[in-house]
Chain A
Amino acid sequence: MKKNNGLGQSTIVFKNKPRIESYYSMVGKKEGQGTFKKYFDCILNDDLCGQKSFEVAEREILERTILGALDKNNVDLSDIDFMIGGDLLNQIISSSFSARHFETPFIGLYGACSTMCESIAIGAALVDGGYAKKTICATVSHFAAAERQYRTPLELGNQRPPVSQWTVTGSGCTILSNTNRGHYVSMATFGKVTDYGVTDANNMGAAMAPAASETLAEHFKDTGTCPDDYDLIVTGDLGKLGSEILRDLMEHRGYKLGTNYCDCGQMIFSRNQRTFQGGSGAGCSASVLNSYILKQMDAGVYKKVLFMATGALLSTVSTQQGETIPCIAHAIVIERGEENADDIS
């Protein structure tokens, strides 16, 4: 059966141009000293955010980010039809606990670090289909909360392996709406769960790169585009090693990624911050998208961006039982909307 708004197997096209009405990003202290310090809307001084635990702090960061996005462009909470989001903690407690305060229909997602892209893709589909006027799409992650869930106690004196990445303390929120101003989401490609047999939970870049290449190749095939058609192709948190692997895998598939390709995880920390392969976590791609990338689009530096976030769908139990790591990647295309342009849907 042919899909109404589909291209190929995995890509959907949003004909009504769901717009990005507002966006906001908030990061922790370490991220605030990184490459994008000038672009984040808010940088926290205290990773505990004045709360009693890191889990509560993560929730607080998400709530403040959503409120920040609402305030930034004076969006009224009562106009929001859906809140869509997720995080890395078990049972996505940060998102669902935060959703208590907003009294908005809530769609909780888990796509590990790919959640930001997944939430925008679903939010855009709801707005595009006329099922919602405005949606909040937000994700969060916290270094300390993720570390204690997935790895070892914070103060344990162990050495991080050189392939490891640093979970970003940060959050990003994008508000999509059916207005006719602002940048718009034109397409979304949903990824397939891909597993190339990597078992090392420290080497996330290597585990996720095949999923990224799968989705990217699928997107180019479905849409008939090539890497050069985009001003920027940006992946979520493959890190330095993972993005080098992605370049190799894509070349193997016949697509050469040029200088327009970069990775949020690789860029978010500066070199002297000792994070080895760079940042990771649901908040990594979320905070970079909702700061640097969208602000550069505002400035007109980028007109068409392919944003793809990758996620490793493992749990501590699966890792301990020696299972391989299934991964996923979702991609969306964001195009620059000229100011005051009429909606020509």
Chain B
Amino acid sequence: MNKEERNKRYLAYVSAKSPKTEVWPSLFFAFIIGGLICCFGQAVSDTLANWFPYMTETELGAWTLVVIIFITCILTGVGLFDDIARFAGAGTIVPITGFANSICSSAMEFRREGIIFGMCAKMFTVAGPVIVFGIISSIIIGVVYLFL
């Protein structure tokens, strides 16, 4: 048996033998915790609308994000966020919480390598691709919008 054949067989054996992520519990926790975060966001938005009746929808959305990002960063800083995220999975990654956590955790992680070349340079190691794709897609949509 040649090496390629051997490796192919071995990889098939490994993938059959390796335990897989349990889909239903993961979906359940992602749904519950993700949903709770969204409800909380709505509550923040409604409260702000109540306090500041002159705010527009866009402004309300922006301030809600600021509040959620702030809370996420505090939770990341005190080391609670990753414990929640372990259960929540996509429930905490998909909302803005995932993005905020990826930047905050990287900033904390590389602080010891200095402020400029550590924290500031490496803050976007995880979130970088999100920003790149965000900018590219917004450019494409902007160009499309221009000709509509």
Chain A residues in the interface with B (C-beta under 8 A): 52-53, 148, 152-163, 196-198, 203, 206, 210, 241, 244-245, 248
Contacts and interface: CB of A to CB of B under 8 A. Distances in A.
Given A53-B112, A198-B14, A245-B14, A156 B102 contact: yes
A157 B20 contact: no
Contacts of A196: 6-7, 10-11
Question: Which of A53, A158, A206 has the largest count of B CB atoms less than 10 A from its CB?
Answer: A158
A152 B92 CA distance: 17
A255 to B, nearest CB: 18
Given A153-B126, A155-B79, A196-B7, A162 B20 contact: yes
Contacts of A156: 82, 101-102, 105-106, 126
Given A159-B21, A210-B10, 7 more contacts: A153-B108, A153-B109, A155-B79, A157-B76, A157-B86, A158-B85, A162-B18
Interface residues of B, number: 38
Question: Which of B20, B92, B105 has the largest count of A CB atoms less than 10 A from its CB?
Answer: B105
A157 B93 contact: yes
B89 A153 contact: no
A87 to B, nearest CB: 18
A158 B87 CA distance: 9
B34 interface: no
Interface string B6-50: 111011011001111100001000000000000000000000000
B111 to A, nearest CB: 10
B19 A197 contact: no
Nearest to A159: B89
Question: Which of A152, A153, A210, A244 has the largest count of B CB atoms less than 10 A from its CB?
Answer: A153
Interface in B81-98: 81-82, 84-86, 88-89, 92-93, 97-98
Nearest to B113: A53
A244 B21 contact: no
In the A-B complex, the 4 residue pairs with the closest CB atoms: A157-B85, A197-B7, A153-B109, A155-B105
Interface of B: 6-8, 10-11, 13-14, 17-21, 26, 76-77, 79, 81-82, 84-86, 88-89, 92-93, 97-98, 101-102, 104-106, 108-110, 112, 125-126
Contacts of A198: 10-11, 14
Contacts, number: 86
Contact of B14 (A148, A159, A162, A206): A206
A142 to B, nearest CB: 14
A148 B81 contact: no
A161 B102 contact: no
A196 B105 CA distance: 35
A155 B82 contact: yes
B18 A241 contact: yes
21 contacts: A152-B105, A153-B106, A153-B125, A153-B126, A154-B108, A155-B81, A155-B109, A156-B102, A157-B81, A157-B82, A157-B84, A157-B92, A157-B98, A162-B18, A196-B11, A197-B8, A203-B14, A210-B10, A241-B18, A244-B17, A245-B17
Contacts of A52: 112
Given A153-B109, A155-B105, A196-B6, A161 B81 contact: no
Given A152-B126, A162-B19, A162-B20, A157 B101 contact: yes
A154 B105 contact: yes
Given A52-B112, A152-B126, A155-B81, A203 B93 contact: no
A335 B145 CA distance: 77
Question: Which of B10, B26, B106 has the largest count of A CB atoms less than 10 A from its CB?
Answer: B10
Question: Which of A155, A161, A197, A203 has the largest count of B CB atoms less than 10 A from its CB?
Answer: A155
Given A53-B112, A163-B19, A206-B18, A155 B10 contact: no
B102 A162 contact: no
Nearest to A157: B85
Contacts of B6: 196
B98 A162 contact: no
Question: Which of A156, A160, A161, A244 has the largest count of B CB atoms less than 10 A from its CB?
Answer: A156
A157 B92 CA distance: 8
Nearest to A55: B112
Contacts of B20: 162
A241 B17 contact: yes
B39 to A, nearest CB: 19
A198 B8 CA distance: 10
A148 B20 CA distance: 25
